[in-house]
Structure 1
Amino acid sequence: MKNVRIRMAESHDLTACHTIECKCFPPSEAALISSMNTRITEYPEGYLVAELDGHIVGQVNSGATDKDDITDEEFKQLIGHDPEGKNIVIFSLSVLPEFQRRGIADQLMKAFIKQARKLDKQRILLLCKDNLIPYYARHGFTDSGVSESDHGGAEWHEMALTL
C-alpha cells in the first residue's frame, strides 16, 4: 500500500500495538502490554509501526543481544537486552487481520532490515512457526531448524538473516 507510513513507535502507540498483538496471536503467545511498553520505551529504535490514515495497523518489535540463543523467555521483557548487541531479535511482526495480504508486513520487514543495518547489527534472529518459513525466506532468512523454545506450547523454528 502506497499511503502506509513506517515509523518508530511512540508511547502513545502502545494500546494500538497491544490490540494488534492480541488479534494476531493466541493468548498463550501474545506479549503482555507491560512487555510491549518496555520495548517501546527502552528500545524505540527496534520498534516500528505501520500507520495508515492516522491509525496503527501493523508493528514489528525487537531487542538486541550478543547471545545467539534466543529461547530465553525473560528476553522478551528485555531482561538481558543490550542495545549495542550484535544481534537484533524480532519478537513480533504483525498486521491487523483486516489489513493483511496488502504488503504492509513486507513494508515493515524491509524497513526493519534497513533499520538493523543502520544500527550496525550483524544478524536478525527470530522464531516462527513452520507455515511462516517461506515468508521469511523471501526476505533472505534461513531456517536453522526447530528451536528449543516452547513459547505458548507451540513448535518454533529459528530463522536468521546475516546483514
Structure 2
Amino acid sequence: MLKALTIRHADMDDLPACHTIEANCFPPAEAAWASSLRNRIEIYPEGFLVAEWEGRVVGQVNAGSTDKDDITDEEFKQLIGHDPDGRNMVIFSLSVLPSFQKRGIAGKLLTNFIEHARDLGKAAIKLLCKEPLIPYYARFGFADDGLSSSTHGGAAWHSMTLVLGD
C-alpha cells in the first residue's frame, strides 16, 4: 500500500486538509488553528511535509527551527522566535487521518522528516508527546528527556530528542 504514498512539502492548497487532520487527531485544546498551520506553511515550508495517498493529503508533520533547547514556549507554535538556521528542528505535529492510521504512514512521514533534517544540517529534532507515545518515538531513536513543563491543552507532555549525528 505504501507504494502509492507520496511524501512532499506542503503548499497552501494543502491547508484545508491539514487542518482537517489536526481537528481529527487532537482534542480541540491541543489542535493547531488553521492560522497556525498557514503560518507554518508560509514561513517555514522546509519544516512541513504531507503524506498524499491517491491525490488526497492523509497525514502531516510540521515543525519550526530554533537554537533553543527549551521547546515549551507556546508562542513558538506560532513561529514567534523561529530561526530557520537554528540547530534544532521542533516537531509540532505528526498526525494521520484516523481512517488511514495503522498503515505505516506516520512512520514514513517521520523517517522522511528525519532525513530532511539531516540534509538541512540540523543537530537534533525535538518534540513533546504524551507518555503512551514515548515507545513509538523511541523506535526512531528519540530519547525521553523526561516530563516537560509544558501544559499545552491541559495535558502532561514528555520532551524527546533525536540527536542527528553523522
Relative to the length of structure 1, the TM-score reads 1.00
- Is residue 2:63 matched to residue 1:92? no
Q: What is the CA–CA distance in structure 2 between the aligned matches of 1:104 and 1:114, rounded to whole Å?
A: 16
Q: What is the CA–CA distance in structure 1 between the aligned matches of 2:7 and 2:43, rounded to whole Å?
A: 19
- Is residue 2:62 matched to residue 1:61? yes
Q: What is the CA–CA distance in structure 1 between the aligned matches of 2:120 and 2:23, rounded to whole Å?
A: 29
Cα deviations by residue, 1:108-137 (Å, 9 ceiling, x for unpaired): 000000010011100000000000000000
For residue 37 of structure 2, what is the aligned residue in structure 1?
36
Cα deviations by residue, 1:8-47 (Å, 9 ceiling, x for unpaired): 0001000000000000000000001101000001100100
- Give the letter aligned to residue 54 of structure 1: G
For residue 48 of structure 2, what is the aligned residue in structure 1?
47
Report 1:3-152 matches (<5 A).
Answer: 3-152=4-153
Q: Structure 2: which 5+ residue stretches go unaligned?
A: none
Structure 1: 4+ residue segments shifted above 3 A: none
Shift of 1:2: 1.6
Residues matched between the structures, number:
163
Cα deviations by residue, 1:72-122 (Å, 9 ceiling, x for unpaired): 000000000000000000000000000000000000000000010011100
Identical-residue share of aligned pairs (%): 66
RMSD value, Cα: 0.3
Q: What is the CA–CA distance in structure 2 between the aligned matches of 1:153 and 1:63, rounded to whole Å?
A: 22
Cα deviations by residue, 1:46-82 (Å, 9 ceiling, x for unpaired): 0000000000000000000000000000000000000
- SS at structure 1 position matched to 2:62: strand
- SS at structure 2 position matched to 1:117: helix
Q: What is the CA–CA distance in structure 2 between the aligned matches of 1:68 and 1:2, rounded to whole Å?
A: 36
Q: Structure 1: which 5+ residue stretches go unaligned?
A: none
